[in-house]
């Protein structure tokens, strides 16, 4: 169930003639059964002219019960008294914010005392990481980790081994975060969300 509230965070994504993809943060001003009025945050006001009536948008709404993604169109442009978009019946619920997971292969390095362990992830999420391992790691052992989201973006923190299982011919372990900044956690969540949205688009095209 999509639970809306005034002031709730909303992200809209759209294309412009000069830039392929733009993301603008908004907040809900008011809502009805089939439409939502949005207030654009100051950082996105420069894109108002790129949001005419009838333009297609991709919308992400963050609620207490989960994150919802759907395609929408602009009913009233932000140049009018209220910026209003369509609220369609069909909406995709991804997962609760803290548990978004995405099957992404990334480099990760673990460190404990004088031991360094380089591996690759199987999936990542806001609460932890599943990764490939060649040996059974002890449950509850604490490891420092560095996760490379890109060549220029590295997330670091401390995690605890939750379990190790046999996966095909290899083993897989799960590390759950015990010490990570909220900024870094949110970067992982955004990374996973962007990956999920990309996969939804690909499934829609196939």
Ordered by start, the domain boundaries in the chain are 9-93, 99-199
φ, ψ at 156 (rounded to 5°): -125, 155
pTM (2 d.p.): 0.56
Across 103-120, average pLDDT: 92
Across 48-53, average pLDDT: 92
Q: What's the CA gap between 190 and 141, in Å, rounded?
A: 28
Across 50-67, average pLDDT: 85
**Six token digits for residue 12:** 């809209």
pLDDT for res 97: 46
Q: What's the CA gap between 44 and 192, in Å, rounded?
A: 23
| CATH number among 3.20.20.120, 3.40.50.150, 3.40.718.10, 2.40.10.220, domain 99-199 | 2.40.10.220
As assigned by CATH, the class of the 9-93 domain is mainly beta
96 has a pLDDT exceeding 70 = no
Question: Using 50, 70 and 90 to split pLDDT, how confident is the model at 19?
Answer: low
């Amino acid at each position: 169930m999509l639970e809306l509230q005034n002031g709730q965070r909303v992200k809209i994504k759209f294309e412009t003639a000069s830039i392929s993809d733009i993301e603008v943060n908004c907040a809900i001003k008011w809502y009805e059964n089939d439409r939502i009025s949005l207030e654009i945050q100051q950082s996105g006001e420069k894109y108002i002219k790129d949001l005419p009536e009838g333009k297609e948008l991709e919308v992400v709404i963050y609620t207490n019960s989960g994150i919802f993604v759907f395609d929408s169109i602009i009913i009233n442009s932000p140049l009018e008294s209220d910026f209003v978009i369509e609220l369609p019946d069909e909406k995709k619920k991804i997962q609760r914010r803290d548990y978004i997971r995405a099957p992404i292969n990334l480099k990760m390095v673990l460190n404990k005392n004088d031991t360094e362990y380089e591996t690759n992830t199987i999936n990542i999420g806001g609460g932890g990481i599943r990764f490939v391992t060649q040996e059974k790691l002890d449950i509850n052992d604490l490891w420092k980790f560095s996760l490379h989201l890109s060549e220029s973006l590295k997330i670091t923190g401390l995690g605890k081994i939750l379990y190790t299982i046999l996966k095909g011919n290899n083993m897989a372990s799960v590390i759950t975060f015990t010490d990570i900044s909220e900024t870094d956690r949110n970067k992982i969540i955004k990374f996973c969300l962007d990956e999920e949205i990309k996969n939804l688009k690909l499934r829609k095209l196939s």
